Amino acid sequence: MLISPVNERLTMPKGGETMPIRWSAVKVSEAMDKVEQQVLLADQFIGEAKAKAKEARNIANLPGYLDNRLVRLITQIERIDNVKDAITSVHKAIPDGAIEEERKLTKHGTTQSLM
């Protein structure tokens, strides 16, 4: 098992005390970047789907029960913003300076654990 020296040195505040970070801030950040890229790729198509659902609401003599379902559909499509907010939340939860510190420390390589 490889353990980065980063995991031993980075600290994160918790209830007024400091505790070591045992996870990779860089890997979390990179993973969220990949998720964000996929969401952005889908964003254009989702926007088009929303526009088509709004157009459907203008169909002549559309009964109220169908209009209600279309409104619900549009509302669900708009929830993509919640996904974007969740990605931002993960990025913001990474402690300040953790990514930079980890990158700086990993330039020196990783050490192998004897456990």
- List per-residue pLDDT tens for the chain, 115 residues long: 333 444 444 555 556 565 667 899 999 999 999 999 999 999 989 999 999 999 999 999 999 999 999 999 999 999 998 999 999 999 999 998 889 988 888 887 655 555 5
- Domain match, 61 and 115 both: no
Give the span between the Cα atoms of 33 and 35, in whole angstroms.
6
Shared domain for 40 and 84, answered yes or no, is yes
- Residues 1, 48, single domain; the answer is no
Does residue 72 share a domain with residue 41? yes
Tell me, rounded to whole angstroms, the distance of Cα 106 from its chain centroid: 24
Question: Tokens 């990158």 map to which residue?
Answer: 103
The values of phi and psi at residue 3, to 5°, are -120, 125
Judge if pTM exceeds 0.85.
no
Same domain, 105 and 66: no
Q: Domain range spanning residue 61?
A: 28-94
Verify that 107 and 58 share a domain, yes or no: no
Same domain for 69 and 89, yes or no, is yes
Are residues 81 and 39 both part of a single domain?
Answer: yes
Q: Distance between CA atoms of 54 and 43, rounded to whole angstroms? A: 16
99 and 89: one domain?
Answer: no
38 & 78 share domain: yes
Do the Cβ atoms of 49 and 77 come closer than 8 Å?
A: yes
Give the CA dihedral 53, 55, 61, 66, nearest 10 degrees: 10
pLDDT in tens, 58-82: 999 999 999 999 999 999 999 998 9
User: Which pair of structure tokens corresponds to residue 77?
Assistant: 């499509």
